[in-house]
Amino acid sequence: MLLMLAVIIAGAVSAPWISRLAGGRGAFALVAVPVVALLLLGRMASGEAAEVLEAYTWVPGLDVAAAFRLDGLSLLMASLVLGIGVFIVAYAAKYLEGDERQPRFMATLLLFMAAMLGLVLADDVILLFIFWELTSLTSYLLIGFDHTQAKARQAALQGLVVTVAGGLCLLVGLIMFGEMAGSYRLSEWVLQGEMLISQPTSGWALLMVVLGCVTKSAQFPFHFWLPNAMAAPTPVSAYLHSATMVKAGVFLLARLYPTLGAHPGWQWLVPLGAFTAVFAAFMAFRSDEMKKVLAYTTVMALGTLTLLIGMGEAQAAVGFLLAHALYKGALFMLAGVITHETGAKALSGVGGMRRHLPWTWGAALFAAASAAGVMPWVGVIAKELLLESALGHGVWVVVAAVVSAGIVGGMLFTVALRPFIGAPRAPRAPEAIHEAGPWLLAGPVALAGLGLLLGLVPGLADQVLVPAARALGAVDPAALALWHGVNHAFVASLGSLAIAALVWWLWPRTLRWMGTAGWDRFGPERAYDASLGALGAVAVGVTAKLQSGLLRRYVAITLLSTIVLLLSTLLLRGDAVVWPQFSATISVPIVLAAGVLVLAVLAIRLVDALSVALILGAVGFGVSLLYLWFSAPDLAITQVMIETLTTILLVLILFRLPRMRRLSSPSQRMADMVLAIFGGGIVSLVLWQVMAAPSPVSISEWLIARSMPEGHGRNIVNVILVDFRALDTLGEIVVLALAAMGGYALLKSPPNTGERES
Partner 1 sequence: MSADPWLVLLIGGLYSCAFYMMLRRSLTKTLFGLVLLSNAANLLIFVAAGVTIGRPALVPDGLQAPEGLVADPLAQAFILTAIVIGFGVLAFAVVLIRRAHEVLDVDDFDELKDAEQ
Partner 2 sequence: MSLLVALPFLIPMVAGSVSLLAWPSRRAQRAIAVVGTAGQLIAAVVLLVVVWNDGIQVLAAGAWPAPYGITLATDLLSALMVLMTGITGFAAALYSLPTISSRMERNGYYPLMHMLLAGVAGVFLTTDLFNLYVWFEILLLASFALLAMGQERAQMAGALKYVVLNLFSSAMFLSALGLLYGLAGTLNMADLAVKLPALDDGGRVTLVSMLFMLAFSIKAASFPLFFWLPASYHTAPVAVSALFAGLLTKVGVYSLYRTFTLVFTEDVPWTHGWLQVSAGFTMVVGALGALAQTDIRRTFAFLHVSQIGYMLMGLALFTPIALAAGVFYFAHHIIMKSNLFFLSGVIYRLGGSYRRDELGGLWTARPWLSLVFLVPALSLCGIPPLSGFWGKLLIVRAGVDAGSGWLLAAVLVTSVLTLLAVMRIWADVFWKAAPQDRPVRRAPLPVMLWVVTVGLAAGTLWIGFTVEPLWALAERASAQLLDPSAYIEAVLSPELP
Interface of this chain with partner 1, residues 668 to 697, rule: CB under 8 A: 672-673, 675-677, 679-681, 683-685, 687-688, 690-691, 695
The span of 30-38, 114-122, 372-380, 729-737 binding partner 1 (CB under 8 A) equals 729-737
Q: H or E stretch including 59?
A: strand 52-59
- Residue 64 bridge partners (DSSP): 59
The angle that helices 202-216 and 125-143 make with each other, rounded to 10 degrees, is: 30
Q: Does 98 bind partner 2 (CB under 8 A)?
A: no
Among 46, 148, 631, 758, binds partner 1 (CB under 8 A): 631
Residue nearer to partner 2 on the CB measure, 62 or 475:
62
CA angle 306, 310, 314 (to 5 degrees): 85
Q: Which of 371, 390, 368 lies closest to 381, judged by CA?
A: 371
Q: Which residues, numbered 634-653, are part of the site for partner 1 (CB under 8 A)? A: 634-635, 638-639, 642, 645-646, 649-650, 653
536 vs 743, which CB is nearer to partner 1? 743
Binding segment for partner 1 among 278-286, 360-368, 393-401, 555-563 (CB under 8 A)? 555-563
- Given candidates 134, 175, 614, 632, which one binds partner 1 under the rule CB under 8 A? 632
CA angle centred on 89, ends 123 and 290, rounded to 5°: 100
Q: C-beta of 574: minimal distance to partner 1 in Å?
A: 17
Between 203 and 633, whose beta carbon lies closer to partner 1? 633
The runs of H, that is alpha helices, within 217-313 are: 225-228, 234-238, 247-260, 269-285, 290-311
157 binds partner 1 (CB under 8 A): no
Decide: 379 and 416 in contact? Cβ < 8 Å.
no
Interacting residues of 402 by C-beta distance below 8 A, sequence separation 6+: 387, 492, 495, 496, 499
User: Considering only residues 582, 666, 697, 756, which one is a binding residue for partner 1 as defined by CB under 8 A?
Assistant: 582
| Given 394, 459, 680, 731, the residue binding partner 2 (CB under 8 A) | 731
Three-state secondary structure readout of 660-708: CCCCCCHHHHHHHHHHHHHHHHHHHHHHHHHHHCCCCCCCHHHHHHHHC
Q: What is the spatial distance between Cα 326 and Cα 465, in angstroms, rounded to a whole number?
A: 14
d(CA 647, CA 245): 72
User: For partner 1, how many residues bind (rule: CB under 8 A)?
Assistant: 102
Nearest to partner 1 of 148, 698 (CB atom): 698
Find the binding residues for partner 1 in span 737-756 (CB under 8 A). Answer: 738-739, 742-743, 746-747, 751
Question: Whose CA is closest to 212, among 269, 162, 160?
Answer: 162
456 is a site residue for partner 1 (CB under 8 A): no
CA 717 vs CA 338, 629, 701, 705, 725: distances in Å: 91, 17, 12, 12, 10
Segment contacting partner 2 by CB under 8 A, of 311-319, 325-333, 534-542, 652-660: 534-542
By CB under 8 A, residue 43 contacts partner 1: no
- Does position 579 interact with partner 2 (CB under 8 A)? The reply is no
User: Is position 578 an interface residue for partner 1 (rule: CB under 8 A)?
Assistant: no
Q: Answer with the entry of partner 2, partner 1, none that 536 interacts with (C-beta below 5 to 8 A by kind).
A: partner 2
Binding partner of 613, given partner 2, partner 1, none, CB within 5-8 angstroms per partner class = partner 1
Considering only 431, 735, 757, 758, the residue that binds partner 1 (CB under 8 A) is: 735
Residue 59, Ramachandran bin (φ over 0: left; ψ between -120 and 50: alpha; else beta) = beta
The nearest distance, CB 533 to partner 1, in angstroms, is 21
The size of the interface with partner 2 (CB under 8 A), counted in residues, is: 104
**Contact positions with partner 2 (CB under 8 A) in 583-612:** none
Residue of 547, 561, 568, 569 that binds partner 1 (CB under 8 A): 547
549 binds partner 1, rule: CB under 8 A: yes
Q: In this chain, which of 61, 518, 658, 666 binds partner 1, going by CB under 8 A? A: 658
Binding status of residue 505 toward partner 1 by CB under 8 A:
no
DSSP H helices in 377-523 = 378-391, 395-417, 438-456, 458-471, 488-514
Segment lying near partner 2 (by CB under 8 A), choices 253-261, 325-333, 612-620, 679-687:
679-687
Helix axis angle for 488-514 and 269-285, nearest 10°, is 50
Query: Taking the CA of residue 584 as centre, how many other CA atoms within 13 Å lie in the half-sphere pointing to its CB?
Result: 0
Residue 701 C-beta: closest distance to partner 2, Å? 9
Q: At what angle do helices 314-342 and 395-417 cross, to 10 degrees?
A: 20
